[in-house]
Chains A and B, each alone.
Chain A
């Protein structure tokens, strides 16, 4: 149901772009107005969300230590899993962000008769998440060729690298295959893993379907529908967009507008969705705090003034017992005390 709705929503977006862009005058809306709007919403929204997070303080230093802390000289410190300095935190974060360290740890627990539980390493999610994210990154970087004139050398390097296997003509990019495989796995996993299926929301299926469709339309343009589009006009438009004086030629091709409109939809959707994990992963306190909270005092800006139940109050209540038991007191018993 939830995944079907995601397909419907994306089909609707495709139809809007396909039909809409055929109406005279509308290519400008789809080719210029929407992209600018989408970029504005994306940048504005992304910054807004990060600022909103940053506005809340980190009142305590709550790390999740995943290894031995720095303590005595003869106890070997695990610098990456229980970082003690800023450099070690940076290394831990880099490992997390660039290699998905925590997912790498993933295990699969299984119940057996007895009862007995077994834990097996389970790296599928880690592998396919890596394939997906790095393919996506590579694709975005490759697209810089469309916005920059002349094409920078590093984009050409990336293209050469991405097309290393020289399969087909035009040569297939690994990242194009990678993103389809990655998204395909993530989607299939959501449907077939009972636990994940049970927790999945429309919010989880929709971005996958959207990204999948963006990739498909892109692949169609590059490999299969080359004659339906005019790459010169497209480049003119995209470079114009980047230079802030866009011009739009005729006959760009509907498939291009569909692709572009879906990208716009993704950009607009991004800041208001779970896709913000891209920003959040940098700011998660359990990973980016130092494990030195006993060595260096962490400050809480809203630390309330709360005093303990005072020793004086405690002694007042129990003084007699304390004196009887020979426990030292601050104030001796009064010389005379009313018998009660």
Chain B
């Protein structure tokens, strides 16, 4: 479980005999079984978490039990194979994308070296095409004419326990970042295949704790961290104190306040741990500066949604709190904080799953009067869209010199770039809050951005070596700008990034810190009434006072 020394892993990544470094595997992939050993798998979900989720209306999480991937016997239900095949059939009927992605791949290999997991591990089954073949081989065998007649010759493969174990291994070595889908000539989206694999595995009680525990926390307490209402409020109030100590201005905040104009929802990690805390302070400074009439909610205190990494039903159930709370409080619309997968759900699923939100209004910035037509139906605005608009209209007094300690670069998170197209708003904001920032190499940013390596609920410590490997392509790009331009700050708009890139940088590029974009905004804002109470903040909100 311990992470190898930097030199050792560096050598292994670059020279280890792997398909990524040019070595040819001697066995056909179908003949190589998945072998689980400590460090190469995330811990299975705890029995009580699975039981809790299964007890919730609309959710189905059978076969709660104690088990270990290292055991031969995974204690699957007796008719597990039927469950899987019927589950696959059901999903083929529900998702056109799945059918098309099963049928259209020509194995051109354009995706092969686009995956950060493949680049970092060199494991052939981490080529997106092979990850999909893990499922496609079973699909061929049981659902296509050619496969039924020719079997293995046509690339078909019987569903066995070995195949199931392989599914578990490799659907949790994919962060659903969708970089491969940019390069695929048919737009095959491996994320959807990984999602299907994970859904199917849950049908027989195979899931990981790092996802199901936050999901059950979020259902019960409103957030992944399991913060109960009073604790959530305490955490935010600590940050208010900190902001006051640092800047001399105490932000006004409120919780669960009916009649507020706007409901603000961000990932709970932002009020829980560094470096997200500074981003949360940034939000409050920003809203204070413009006098926004907004409220936090303890009930909908999570922007993220680990249901996305579980199954459609869980995603819907967790997401539904946002609209429910917005309706209960009677707000006009919702502003969402910085988060990647949160925004994938909000942009691509929310309205379809839990809309229409006709109790809300089309978002209009109360400060600039700008109507956010792009959010007319969902009624959720991204914080960087909101901030960029404020800056454009000159509504923020910004002093870039307050970020003079920062030489930044910007990391696009997978979801906001490839599932939203939110690329230039954060760059526009960055342009206005720091003097100096540079882009990483062009094949590693914007729609081609590399994942932090630990998304989709893989940010757990027991698989740290895997995370350092899969995050390597990102880290390498950071190293490049650090060496060339002395970059010392990696800005991003994602809560998982803030946590995982910190681990990644600590390992590969310890000189570079990670921050949320709104932290830099918070640093730069000049409050009207700040007076002489403002401390000298050499390191912005991170200054020890």
A interface with B by C-beta (< 8 Å)? 5, 49, 52-72, 74-76, 78, 81-82, 96, 100, 102-103, 105-109, 111-117, 119, 125, 129, 193-196, 198-204, 272-274, 276-277, 280-281, 283-287, 291-300, 302-311, 314-315, 317-318, 321-322, 324-328
Contact = CB atoms under 8 A, between A and B. Distances in A.
Main secondary structure of the interface of B (DSSP, over half): helix
A319 B320 CA distance: 21
A195, A273, A304 interface centre (most CB from chain B within 10 Å) = A195
A311 B233 contact: no
Interface of B: 10-11, 13-15, 19-22, 24-25, 29, 56-59, 92-101, 103-110, 112-114, 119, 124, 127, 129-130, 133, 144-146, 153-155, 178, 181-189, 192, 219-222, 228-230, 233-234, 255-258, 298-299, 312-313, 316-321, 324-325, 328, 346-349, 351-353, 355-356, 370, 373-378, 380, 385, 388-389, 392, 417-425, 428, 441, 443-444, 446-448, 472-473, 476
A299 B15 CA distance: 49
B385 to A, nearest CB: 6
Contacts, number: 334
Given A281-B185, A314-B220, 9 more contacts: A53-B103, A96-B185, A198-B24, A272-B146, A277-B185, A281-B104, A295-B374, A306-B320, A311-B299
A279 B231 CA distance: 55
A247 B101 CA distance: 43
A105 B130 CA distance: 21
Contact of A299 (B21, B113, B352): B352
Contacts of A114: 10, 14
B447 A65 contact: yes
Given A71-B374, A117-B476, A281-B185, A273 B421 contact: no
Contacts of A204: 106-107
A309 B145 CA distance: 44
6 contacts: A57-B96, A58-B95, A75-B428, A115-B14, A199-B29, A294-B376
B349 A60 contact: yes
Contact of B100 (A109, A119, A283): A283
Given A56-B94, A115-B472, A68 B155 contact: no
Given A300-B353, A309-B56, A202 B155 contact: yes
A266 to B, nearest CB: 15
Contacts of A107: 113-114, 183, 443
A300 B350 CA distance: 11
Nearest to B441: A119
Contacts of B219: 308-309
A274 B104 contact: yes
B15, B114, B187, B234 interface centre (most CB from chain A within 10 Å) = B187
Contact of A280 (B56, B104, B448): B104
Contacts of B13: 111, 115
B226 to A, nearest CB: 12
Given A196-B107, A198-B25, A296 B114 contact: no
A75 B104 contact: no
Nearest to B389: A72
